[in-house]
Amino acid sequence: MHNDNLLKTYNRLDITFKKGKGTKLWDEKGNEYLDFVSGVAVNCLGHCHPIILDALKKQSEDLIHISNLYYNKPQNDLAKKLCSIGDMKKVFFCNSGTESIETALKIARKYGTTIHESKKEIIYMNNSFHGRSMGALSVTGQPKYQNNFTPLVGGMHQAEINNINSIKNIINSNTCAVIIEPIQGEGGIISCSNKFLKELKTLCTKYNALLIFDEVQCGAGRLGSFFAYKQFDIVPDIVCMAKGLGGGFPIGATLTNEKVGKCISPGDHGSTFGGNPLACAVSLAIIKELLDKDIIKEIPFKEKYLKSKFKALKDKYPCLLDISGKGLLIGIKFKDPKTIIKKCFNKKLLLVGAGENVIRLLPPLNVSYKEIDHAINILKEVLEEI
């Protein structure tokens, strides 16, 4: 359904979805699709999960929005819950991943200037993606997103992922932070090594620079722990979250440790809608469902199952070049991913690309093994055809 009223910021497929339930979507004609995109890692419990619907109904009947001039219980409860299951002590709520990144960049610069007025520089990685606002874009290491919007925010310096020497060459006393995705999502499912991240943490400590983890795509349980950093045996100073944190309802969060949180004062930052009761009630319900039902604990087994299936396909089909990722953030590298995505779409399986030649698999975290098999069988049919 083409719509000339929409600003052309996306190359949308010519399909309009009307209904969703779990991993399934139905278009206006009643055709059923298996959704392994999940709103790009957003629908962590699938479409229209009863837990989300119940939270929306109950909270909307009590209180939807009051602004941050006052406290509200869902926000208080969500902040306490997030801090209790990790190592962070302070939370700022916003509405999206990009906003959570903007918050982290501002916090980093405020922290730096409390030490010295020149401590404002931020290091980011090549091939990274942190969002499309001017601040987030300035630490996104892909020229194709940046070129039309220069000049960008100054004081940003690019290093190379998994190359500690590239960071040693540019980090100095004026560096206030290093921002990194532990697994680059949009960039092509490229994982940081544990060794690299540990050396990076040591460097940040040496120069009193903050380590910022962008967990917008890889967090909220997707890697097999609620916080992605738990998979890499280090603790960052700031964690940015969104996507799965709201399961489809807009919410973002920037979490900091005690040291960093102390540098922020009233007026330094804000968000009209951030932390509203409705968003926080939904997020809290999702977190409880993920943890209480052991959905996250099952993810390593689903990862192993998926990778074993892909390894079997790789051994048989030479066009499948590589398998990467962790948990339910899996990348499969193909010679011609666009053709495969299109053919899978024609067979009612939704997939999304990443980087130059990678297909992302982002099913809901509660996806069943039967649904995994269904997706694999469709992909196998496509590979047989090509």
Phi, psi of 121 (to 5 degrees): -80, 145
Bind-site residues? 97-98, 129, 132, 214-217, 271-272
Nearby residues of 317 by Cβ (< 8 Å), 6 or more positions away: 383
Range of the domain at 134: 51-292
**What's the sign of the alpha-carbon dihedral 225, 237, 253, 97?**
negative
Same domain, 312 and 229: no
**How confident is the model over 107-137, as pLDDT tens digits?**
999 999 999 999 999 999 999 999 999 999 9
| 231, 257, 292 - which closes a domain | 292
pLDDT band at 3 (very low <50, low <70, confident <90, very high): confident
Q: Do residue 43 and residue 142 come from a single domain? A: no
How far, CA to CA in Å, does 230 sit from each of 49, 140, 293?
27, 24, 19
Are 228 and 104 in the same domain? yes
Inter-residue contact 209 to 238 (CB < 8 Å): no
| Domain CATH for 318 | 3.90.1150.10
Of 227, 261, 292, the domain-final residue = 292
Domains in the chain, number: 2
Task: Name the one residue in this structure whose structure tokens are 């196998």.
Answer: 380
Cα(275)–Cα(263) distance, integer angstroms: 20
Residue 223 and residue 213: Cα distance in Å, rounded?
A: 14
CATH code: domain of residue 246: 3.40.640.10
CB distance 235 to 87 below 8 Å: yes
pLDDT for the residue numbered 303: 98
- For the chain, give the mean pLDDT: 97
User: Same domain, yes or no, for 201 and 302?
Assistant: no
Omega within 30 of 0 (cis) for the link into 300: no
Q: Which residues are annotated as a binding site for N(2)-acetyl-L-ornithine?
A: 132, 271
242-295 confidence digits (pLDDT tens): 999 999 999 999 999 999 999 999 999 999 999 999 999 999 999 999 999 999
pLDDT confidence of residue 169: 98
pLDDT of residue 4 exceeding 90: no
Same domain for 88 and 147, yes or no, is: yes
Q: Are residues 232 and 118 in the same domain?
A: yes
Q: 2 pLDDT band (50/70/90 cuts)?
A: confident
pLDDT of the residue at 386: 84
Which of residues 292, 320, 343 is at a domain's end?
Answer: 292
The pLDDT tens digits for 188-210 are 999 999 999 999 999 999 999 99
Same domain, 273 and 133: yes
pLDDT of residue 150: 96
The confidence score (pLDDT) of residue 38 equals 97
**In which residue are the tokens 């989300």 written?**
52
Is there a single domain that holds both residue 44 and residue 109?
no
What's the confidence (pLDDT) of residue 244? 98
103 plus 149 within the same structural domain: yes
Residue 225: both structure tokens together: 């722990």
Q: What is the mean pLDDT of residues 132-148?
A: 96
Are 250 and 346 in the same domain?
Answer: no
Q: Do 38 and 183 fall within a single domain?
A: no
- Per-residue pLDDT reduced to its tens digit, 323-366: 999 999 999 999 999 999 999 999 999 999 999 899 999 999 99
Residues tagged in the binding site annotation for pyridoxal 5'-phosphate: 97-98, 129, 214-217, 272
pLDDT at 280: 98
pLDDT at residue 118, as a whole number: 97
> Does the model's pTM come out above 0.85?
yes
For the stretch 43-58, pLDDT in tens is 999 999 999 999 999 9
Specify the pLDDT at position 383.
95
